Amino acid sequence: MARANPNPVVAGVLSALLAGAGQVYNGQRKKGVTYMAVEAAFLILLFTVLRDPLYGLVTLNPVGKFLDSRHILLAGIIAAFVVAAYAWFHIANIVDAARSASSIRAFHALPEDARRISPEYWAPARTLGPYIYIAPSILAAFFVIVIPLAFGILLAFTNYNLYHCPPAGRFDWVGLANFLKLLKPGSSWQNQLTMVLGWNITYALLGTTLAFVSGLVLALILQNRRIRFKGVFRAILMLPWAVPATVSIMVFFGLFNTTFGPINDILKSLGLKAVPWFQDRTWARVSVLLTHVWISTPFNLSIISAALQSIPEEIYEAATVDGASPWQSLAKITFPLLMSIVAPILVLTLAGNFNNFGIIYLLTGGGPAVAGSRGAGATDILMTWVYDLGFRQLQWSTASALAVLVFIFVVIFSLINFRLSGVLRQLREEE
């Protein structure tokens, strides 16, 4: 039986001191005993299983059976998440006790006739069924996504590299040293970061814009009523999308080959000089952009064609009656309506191009080399530089710090684009 007139403040305080005590005070004995059992189990784990991993997370020193710094950090992360999960449970237990007390109190304040409704109506028990069903997917996401992500972020605050690499040695916490090394004004690291970030932004903006414009032009051409066999042309133009991107990149790698490539052979046959596609900084970047446009244009063509199909024909007929020219219809009708549909996709594509690892890695490998660089080449973007630092130079902590900076750059970049494109405003209006 529920208590006749429980005080929500008292119930909350009791549950704060001992999980489940507030529920017992409210008369919810089964729930209260269950919560107490959970807290007891957590305390036992905290002073037995979780003790060494938590201590190791703070010091990264060998403790108990954990000798490898990587294992110490990994076990500490899992232990920290267990503590965080219990903290969430404890707060939920306090809120539940206070709310239940308020609901029961409100129930007993009702007239006698209204009390025929069960008190559980006023303080309904939450079923665990839905949570049990999704528990396997949540656990899988936790170990596949959350744990590696936390591990990678925390590595950015250590000195984990070739010289502090288990089992020969161990690594320690170094705080913000890796970030300060990358961002220190005037340093070679900062100069390299500025160069790579500048090209990264340029590549994302130019690649997205050129692919969108080429897709728009082709979609408008196919939209013309005088074009026959539109299905055939559309199928041909969509073929690059059907071919795996890796295959397309390797084909362009052969086409742009300075010595044996067909493009330079054609230029030589016309009496022109061969282009140093992969040896010159500017031409290497041009080759990357051309390859990107080839691969991305079919996607833009498909979404733009679909968006154009959704624009009512009556609008164009009315504009023609009013004397609007085709260019005016394009500027005043087609483009505004088109952008209102494809702008969210365009912004997401821009964020994706910011981290477009495959084209750079497979086509130029980040090259050509830059004198005095820290491993980054003229066509390297941030993610390929992260790969080079981590897997070629074995500077894992610096690579992790750079990856964290990449994440921050992408978030800021995306928020700015969302704001400028009005996507967030559109989503609020739709809600």
Q: Would you tell me how many other CB atoms lie within 10 Å of the CB of residue 271?
A: 6
- Domains defined along the chain, listed by start: 8-178 (no CATH), 182-430 (1.10.3720.10)
Residue at token pair 């984990």 = 160
End-to-end CA distance of the chain: 43
What is the pLDDT averaged over residues 258-271?
Answer: 92
Q: Please give the Cα distance from 328 to 121 (Å, whole number).
A: 63
Question: For residue 362, what pLDDT is reported?
Answer: 94
pTM summary value = 0.82
Percentage, residues of the chain above pLDDT 70: 90
Q: Would you tell me how many other CB atoms lie within 10 Å of the CB of residue 150?
A: 17
Per residue in 37-89, pLDDT tens? 999 999 999 999 999 999 999 999 888 788 889 999 999 999 999 999 999 99
Q: 66 in helix, strand or coil?
A: strand
Question: For residue 123, what pLDDT is reported?
Answer: 47
Q: Please give the Cα distance from 70 to 77 (Å, whole number).
A: 11
Per residue in 175-207, pLDDT tens? 999 999 999 998 889 999 999 999 999 999 999
**Most trustworthy range by pLDDT among 31-35, 111-115, 126-130, 287-291:** 287-291
Q: Would you tell me how many other CB atoms lie within 10 Å of the CB of residue 381?
A: 27
Q: Please give the Cα distance from 142 to 145 (Å, whole number).
A: 6
- What's phi and psi for 165, nearest 5 deg? -125, 120
- For the chain, give the mean pLDDT: 87
CA 291, 296, 297, 298 torsion-angle sign? positive
Question: Which residues, in sequence order, are CB contacts of 230 under 8 Å at separation 6+?
Answer: 222
**Per-residue DSSP letters for 99-123?**
HHHHHHHHHHTS-TGGGGS-HHHHS
Output the CA torsion 103→105→109→113 (10° steps).
60
Residue at token pair 């691969």 = 295
Task: Outline where 256-309 has alpha helix (H).
Answer: 262-269, 281-309
Residue 41: Cβ-neighbour burial (10 angstroms; 0-12, 13-18, 19+) = exposed
Q: Please give the Cα distance from 264 to 273 (Å, whole number).
A: 8
